[in-house]
């Protein structure tokens, strides 16, 4: 059985105010093509299909389009679980319709899937049996069925369990990890020697590497799970939550697929991928990382030589096709008109941070010290006004400047 693992789509999310709809749609095209070309039998989507509990209508439409294309009219199985960014009821809402096409949608931990009903045909996916947080799938063309332990984001509220009222964070972390371990231990009783045994969940495992784009989720802290929480007899564990592609264990094989697009400049330089595994009962799992090309790369520029260096890099075609976070070093305040000219040099600039570099004439240890000061737009305006007029601007003038800056697409504030 060939399984394709993906997660953390975050449909509806923007980057520094830039709509990513075209890139997200291109990802759906690429994913559907991979599933067809590699003859995938089962797709696991490990949570956070949306970026918020109330996604825009186009994001929901794109998600359903993805499900329809991936299911191949019921010949390929698809299992989706909700992540912490998803509203569980919204993810599961279409389950009565989706089940007829071999698509399993689960919103809450301990939720049972709907079983296939009606006439059974050998050319369509069938949900053979299932219960709270588990199911067995029969997939056309596969000699063995798949048993999937599916645990959507298991917060205390979604588990509907109060683990503690008075624990410290360390005690709470231990209690949470022990509870998840217990859950998987109980569920692993459904695994058999003649089935492909899979786990999918959306949680944070100790040792996982984070990025800034997992905001504003609860990373680490109390809701952290030990790498030993997963059943030893699982063939593959498909995780979502962290946006960096990474492997946490070989036996069982535990992986985060990462997000398909970079959603923070902290991910600049990272390659995005999906994971393809081939599993047969009693045999060693074969895995392949398939790198994606649909999302635009992110790049960070640090122009220590000023605007001329930026113009040079653009002329050279540096990081062509990337979204750019520009750190522009200047020796003094930039005239607002000149700053707007810099912004218009490229549509790829999503964020421009001005850094004023001042030389301190005092020497320390025989070396000249360079002081870097980051100023907001209103601070820069106040300095500029004082130099030109010899007096501080009043608050009404500063407010007017800020309104004008906003109307002309002014600078993004540093987060």
How far does Cα 347 stand from its chain's mean position? Answer: 24
Closest by CA to 193, choosing from 238, 145, 228, is 145
Please state the rounded mean pLDDT for residues 87-100: 94
Tens of pLDDT, residue by residue over 222-243, are 678 889 999 999 999 999 999 9
What pLDDT is stored for residue 84 in this prediction? 93
Closest by CA to 70, choosing from 108, 111, 98, is 98
CA distance 392 to 22: 46
How far does Cα 180 stand from its chain's mean position? Answer: 22
Label residue 389 left, alpha or beta by phi (over 0 means left) and psi (-120 to 50 means alpha): alpha
Tens of pLDDT, residue by residue over 313-364, are 999 999 999 999 999 998 777 777 888 899 899 999 998 888 887 765 443 3
Please state the rounded mean pLDDT for residues 39-68: 96
Flag the least confident range among 40-44, 147-151, 263-267: 263-267
CA torsion sign for 374, 377, 378, 380 is: positive
Q: Per-residue confidence at 161, pLDDT binned at 50, 70, 90? A: confident
Q: Per-residue confidence at 367, pLDDT binned at 50, 70, 90? A: very low
Please state the rounded mean pLDDT for residues 10-22: 92
Tens of pLDDT, residue by residue over 105-128, are 999 999 999 998 766 788 999 999
pTM of the complete model: 0.82
What pLDDT is stored for residue 121 in this prediction? 82
Would you report the helix, strand and coil content of the chain in percent, each value rounded to 5?
30, 30, 40
CA distance 240 to 70: 19
> What residues contact 85, with CB distance under 8 A and at least 6 apart?
10, 47, 48, 50, 51, 52, 53, 217
Q: Is 410's pLDDT higher than 80?
A: no
């Amino acid at each position: 059985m060939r399984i394709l693992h993906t997660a953390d789509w975050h449909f509806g999310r923007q980057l520094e105010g830039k709509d990513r709809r075209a890139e997200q749609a291109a990802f759906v095209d690429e994913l559907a093509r991979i599933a067809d070309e590699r003859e995938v039998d089962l797709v696991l989507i490990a949570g956070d299909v949306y970026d918020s509990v109330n996604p825009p209508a186009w994001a929901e439409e794109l998600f359903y389009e993805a499900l329809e294309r991936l299911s191949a009219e019921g010949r390929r199985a698809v299992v989706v679980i909700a992540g912490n960014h998803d509203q569980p009821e919204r993810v599961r809402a279409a389950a009565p319709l989706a089940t007829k096409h071999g698509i399993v949608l689960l919103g809450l931990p301990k939720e049972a899937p709907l079983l296939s009903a009606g006439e059974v045909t050998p050319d369509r996916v069938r949900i053979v049996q299932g219960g709270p947080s588990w199911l067995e799938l029969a997939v056309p063309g596969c000699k063995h069925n798949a048993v999937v332990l599916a645990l959507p984001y298991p917060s205390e509220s979604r588990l509907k369990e109060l683990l503690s009222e008075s624990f410290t964070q360390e005690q709470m972390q231990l209690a949470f990890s022990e509870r998840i371990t217990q859950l998987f231990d109980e569920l692993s009783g459904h695994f058999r020697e003649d089935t492909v045994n899979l786990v999918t969940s959306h949680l944070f495992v100790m040792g996982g590497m984070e990025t800034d784009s997992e905001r504003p989720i609860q990373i680490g802290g109390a809701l952290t799970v030990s790498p030993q929480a997963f059943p030893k007899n699982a063939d593959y564990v498909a995780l979502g939550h962290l946006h960096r592609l990474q492997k946490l264990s070989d036996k069982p094989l535990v992986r985060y697929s990462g997000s398909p697009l970079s959603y923070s400049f902290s991910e600049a330089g990272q390659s995005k991928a999906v994971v393809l595994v081939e599993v047969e009962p009693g045999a060693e799992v074969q895995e392949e990382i398939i790198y994606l090309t649909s999302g635009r790369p992110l790049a960070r520029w640090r122009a220590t030589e000023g605007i001329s260096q930026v113009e040079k890099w653009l002329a050279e075609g540096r990081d062509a096709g990337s979204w750019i976070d520009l750190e522009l070093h200047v020796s003094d305040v930039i005239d607002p008109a000149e700053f707007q000219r810099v912004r218009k040099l490229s549509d790829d600039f999503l964020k421009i941070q001005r850094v004023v570099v001042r030389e301190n004439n005092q020497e320390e240890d025989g070396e000249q010290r360079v002081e870097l000061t980051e100023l907001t737009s209103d601070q820069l305006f106040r300095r500029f006004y004082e130099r030109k007029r010899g007096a501080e601007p009043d608050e009404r003038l500063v407010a007017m400047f800020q309104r004008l800056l906003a109307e002309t697409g002014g600078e993004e504030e540093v987060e």
